[in-house]
Amino acid sequence: MEVLRRARGQLAELTGLEAESVSSFEQTEDGWSLEVEVLELSRVPDTMSLMGGYQVELDRDGQLTGYRRVRRYERGRADPRPGGH
């Protein structure tokens, strides 16, 4: 859990965006890989706010080694289901 807290803090420091949640994480050979959801643009109603999903890489000590935005979406929109349903 400490690794997740540190990753959120480091990403916020670099981007100026507060992490709302960690949607996935896994241990890798080199450390940790996480997907972090952040609020990029607040709108009214809140369901229209713009969110970003960031892939975050950490070394074994929990230090951020890289990040990139992998998706951008409105808070109220679900990811499309495979097969178009």
Q: What is the pLDDT along the chain (85 residues), one digit of tens a residue?
A: 888 888 899 999 999 998 999 999 999 999 999 999 999 999 999 889 999 999 999 999 999 999 999 999 999 887 776 665 5
**Given this model, what pLDDT does residue 83 score?**
61
The Cα–Cα gap between 57 and 54 comes to 10
The Cα–Cα gap between 83 and 18 comes to 34
Lookup result for tokens 């979406």? 73
3-state secondary structure of 14: helix
The Cα–Cα gap between 54 and 35 comes to 5
**Given this model, what pLDDT does residue 37 score?**
95
